[in-house]
Amino acid sequence: MLSADTHKQLGNDLFKEEKYLEAIREYTNAIIKSPSVSIYFTNRALCYLRLDEFEKARDDAKRAIELDSQSTKGYYFLGQALLGLNKPDDAFSVLKRALDMAIEQRVSFADKIAGFAMEAFRSKSYAIQQKTRRKHQQLYEQLKSTLDSEQMIEIDHLFKTDEIDYVPDYFCDPISFEIMMDPVIVKSGKSYDRHTITQHIRKLGPFDPLTREPLYEQDLVPNLCLRDAIAEFL
């Protein structure tokens, strides 16, 4: 009779061959034998993500987190599942936590988590902007029925100039996801807000949070072009 860990290894081999359904079967056998091992659930969750079965991936990722609150992959896969389920607000919160954990644990896939977190941030921002536009349109329609033509000319001008600008991804710090006020560029070519990256170095150590390469405060170079572009945008 095969052990749970043997089933896991068989699942890993099948996953590498992109045989996700067969891998799921092996991970399920591992779970049946050892239902309290977090990694079996994260492995199966990743298979479900590959198959776009987001609800099942969500459930497995949640179970992995219940078993191990420090499971970075649990939060990472849960965030991806929530993105797939079109829940960008929840996905961003979960992925931001996964990114913070990944940076602290110095895992090798922090940059990938940052990519998904930025995608969730973008989707979340877009949803907010669309909601705001709908409210503006509703208000505009209400005003049309109550104002005279001269007043409506002023209102038309107001609504035309009240456009919502989309913040480019590269204006946002890849850790805090806030617009950078003092962008600096590092040896890897990535840009961070000076305050954010300085706090990271002082708190967690002299390394790039996304690439894990050595990084010291004296390595931070002002990104003047990006700073000027952000200033013009604002």
Query: What average pLDDT score do residues 149-166 get?
Result: 58
Q: In which residue are the tokens 């609504």 written?
A: 159
Q: pLDDT above 70 covers what percent of the chain?
A: 82
Element (H, E) at 124: helix 110-144
Taking the CA atoms of 139, 144, 148 and 151 in sequence, report the sign of the dihedral they define.
positive
pLDDT in tens, 116-143: 998 888 887 766 666 666 665 666 566 5
Query: What average pLDDT score do residues 75-83 get?
Result: 97
Q: Considering only residues 83 and 171, tell me which one the structure prediction assigns the higher pLDDT.
A: 83
Q: pLDDT above 90 covers what percent of the chain?
A: 58
pLDDT in tens, 175-194: 888 888 999 999 989 999 99
Structural tokens at position 112: 């990938």
Rg of the chain, C-alpha, whole Å: 23
